[in-house]
Structure 1
Amino acid sequence: MKIVDVCAFYSPRGGGVRTYVEQKLRIGPQLGHEIVIVAPGDEDAVVERGPGARIVFIRSPRFPLDRKYWYFNEAERLHAVLDAEAPDFVEATSPWRSASLVAEWPGAAPRSLVMHADPLSAYAYRWFGPIFSRETIDRQFSMYWEHLRNNSRRFNHVVCANGDLSRRLREGGVANTVTIPMGVEPGCFSPSLRDPALRARLLDACELAESATLLLAIGRLAPEKRWPMVVDAVNAASREMPIGLVMLGEGREQRTILRHIAGNPHIRLLAPERDRRVFARILASADALLHGCEAETFCMVAAEARASGIPVIVPDAGGAVDHAQGGAGRTYAACDPAAAANAVLDVAVTRPRPQAGARTMNEHFEDLFAAYAATTATSRQAA
């Protein structure tokens, strides 16, 4: 098949969507499919990524709330690209306006909406949850729910990476919802990459001895990731025992987070590690991953931590919770720094080493493309 992914939130500067896209461009052709990513950017351009894989950029404005991203602003230009590509299957990978643009494209190809974002959890529930119930918030955001419901009827699939999001969407009347979990990059993450010398250097950067506990926190520096809460949890747990936290990330909240760290020498905020091999060694060398976001659709970094043989400490809501199952980590009450601190202490004392083994992105794409192929065959028979 020729699969075109209309990817509104692809950024060459990183992020979970970029990681997903890079693996799709590599794995899709291996499975016999042609993959075309259509993304907004500063200029019109085509970037070849090898046989059967390329990115088509459409000149678009920068997203005002995060200049690392762009947004599609001209339906005609996007539809013209889709017409020219003549795909067998089309994906929209953002639930916002680009989903409507893909749904409105008059082409005959079947299509899916891939939920790379959970906006209600990331924004509405986070903003208003301390005051109102979710039922009340959902009623106030009925326009968004209606947007999802209307679009879902024009897509063959609404793909979610975790069962909790699928359940909430189905209960909200979103049609054609399916769960196809993601996975980790095959052959990249392993407990065998654990490096005691690297661990010692990271703890030394936190001005701590090797006997201390080394935590990692990884991701975009954005409000929904709740990094101040993560810092508060580590500060509280550190009153009981020596704990170092190394944070890897960049984003618009950097100054806010640095102010919250307030010069604590045991917490270090570093730039993301772009070299995947080095990143895998860092992950395997830590004692645990600490995550704060309850709005993840999958939480790739938690899956990578589990594949690296280290426990995860994650909120009890959203996609991250799946990676703590089966003794692979600890959960805590979402948004509660005291609960997170207790979970950190539990892991620091018990030092669990979960068995490695995780679903891979090969398996994810095999399942995803098999669903697309079945839908395409049914559509052709109907035609």
Structure 2
Amino acid sequence: MRIVDVNEYYCPTGGGVRTYIDRKMRLLADLGHELIVIAPGHENRLEHRPGGGRVFWVAAPRLPFDRSYGMFWDGAPVTALLDELNPDVVETSSPFRPAWIVANWRAPAAKVFFAHNDHMTAYAQRWVGRLASRQKVESWFGWYTRYLAHFLDRFDAFVTNGRTLDRWYSGRGLQVDAPLPLGVEGGVFAPHLRDEQLRAALLGECHLPPCAHLLIGVGRHHPEKRWPMVIDAVEQAGQSAIGLILLGDGVDRPKIFSRVAGNPHIRLFKPIFERERFASVLASADALVHGSDTEPFGLVALEAIASGLPLIVPNEGGSAEFAAPSHSESYNARDAKSCAAAILRLLARDSVQLRSATLDAAGRVRTDLDHLIDLLDYYNQLLLRRSIS
């Protein structure tokens, strides 16, 4: 099977989407299939990926607020590539130009809109959610749901990356054909990667002894991640006994750096792109603390569980899906006081029982190979239905 992904979120400099797609390319090649990406770049260029797969960069304008990303404007170069590549399935996940480019492309391929995010929750709810209830905001922005429905009518399937997006979109009256949850990168994350010397060194960076608690937060420095709220919560929970390391970067870094200035127990580190090293750092913390309530799928939370970490997560958003009481504490989204209380509850739990629960959960984590096998099975069914209709 040849799958082509018209992907506006695939960035030349990295990021979560690129990590997912590059891994997907390798796994599909191992399974005898091909994934090709068409992405906006600085210039027209073909790039071969190790282990299989290709990326066609199409020269496109840069986004004004983040020039690492581009946006398709002229659809002709994209449809010309689609004609040349002749895929069995074409995917896209952006509800803007890529959705219409794919929707209007005339070809026999199955067209799949694969939602990895939800702009209604990520933006509308975050921007005006303080002014009204979630239901009221959904009503105000009902035009956006109608806009989605307009182009989704031209796709063969609407797929989401898990149950959270399925619930959000279905709640607005849109038909989701298949929620296909993602999974962690197999063979990378594991509890046995915990390194007590590394843990002590990280606490040392926080000017704390090994007997202190080490929390870790992972994610972009962006308003939707709510790191200032997490920092407030950690400080309220007990500055002298808790160290916090945040791995990430982004547009809010100056603001977050200013927020933690003067607090020696909170340290900011750049993202760790080397997966084995990242997995070791993750496994060496005592718990993951997370702030985002708008993410559609809590991949970082799932990676933490696979690493043997308990969770401290909001009760809304993708991470909430994985917050089993045996190894997690939940708090009211966007509430620093509630988050602080959740931190204290987790740290007060019996450490032996908690470790046993996290190890049990780690052994049952879904992998990215599980995700792709389900995805291929669904695509095969979709192609079969199209062939007999």
Question: TM over 0.5: same fold?
Answer: yes
Q: Does 1:146 align with 2:146?
A: yes
Aligned positions, number:
381
Q: Does 1:282 align with 2:264?
A: no
Match of 1:212 in 2: 212
Match of 2:369 in 1: 362
Match of 2:383 in 1: 376
Match of 2:331 in 1: 332
**2:42 partner amino acid:** D
Give 1:331 shift. Answer: 1.2
Cα contact 1:170–1:177 (8 A) shared by 2: no
Give 1:130 shift. Answer: 1.1
Match of 2:187 in 1: 187
| SS of residue in 1 equivalent to 2:210 | coil
Match of 1:272 in 2: 271
Q: Distance in 1 between matches of 2:172 and 2:208?
A: 49
Fraction of identical pairs, as percent: 42
**1:14 partner amino acid:** G
**1:302 partner amino acid:** A
Match of 1:344 in 2: 343
User: C-alpha root-mean-square deviation of aligned residues, in Å?
Assistant: 1.4
- Counterparts of 1:155-170 in structure 2, within 5 Å, are 155-170=155-170
Give 1:53 shift. Answer: 0.8
Cα contact 2:12–2:41 (8 A) shared by 1: no
Q: Distance in 2 between matches of 1:332 and 1:126?
A: 18
Q: Distance in 1 between matches of 2:242 and 2:151?
A: 47
Cα contact 1:194–1:281 (8 A) shared by 2: yes
1:181–1:196: structure 2 CA closer, same or farther, 3 Å change rule? same
Q: Does 1:174 align with 2:174?
A: yes
Deviation string 1:265-319 (CA, Å, 9 cap, x unpaired) is: 1000011111100000001000011110011111211110000000111111111
- Counterparts of 1:33-182 in structure 2, within 5 Å, are 33-50=33-50, 52-182=52-182
- Counterparts of 1:18-37 in structure 2, within 5 Å, are 18-37=18-37
Cα contact 2:160–2:176 (8 A) shared by 1: no
The range that moved more, 182-191 or 41-50, is: 41-50
| SS of residue in 2 equivalent to 1:362 | helix
What runs of 5+ residues in structure 2 fail to find an aligned partner?
none
Give 1:100 shift. Answer: 2.1
| SS of residue in 2 equivalent to 1:36 | strand
TM-score in terms of structure 1 length: 0.96
Q: Distance in 1 between matches of 2:135 and 2:100?
A: 25
Cα contact 1:28–1:365 (8 A) shared by 2: yes
Q: Distance in 2 between matches of 1:158 and 1:210?
A: 49
| SS of residue in 1 equivalent to 2:375 | helix
**1:162 partner amino acid:** G
| SS of residue in 2 equivalent to 1:198 | helix
**1:81 partner amino acid:** L
Q: Does 1:298 align with 2:305?
A: no
What runs of 5+ residues in structure 1 fail to find an aligned partner?
none
TM-score in terms of structure 2 length: 0.95
Match of 2:253 in 1: 254
| SS of residue in 1 equivalent to 2:39 | strand
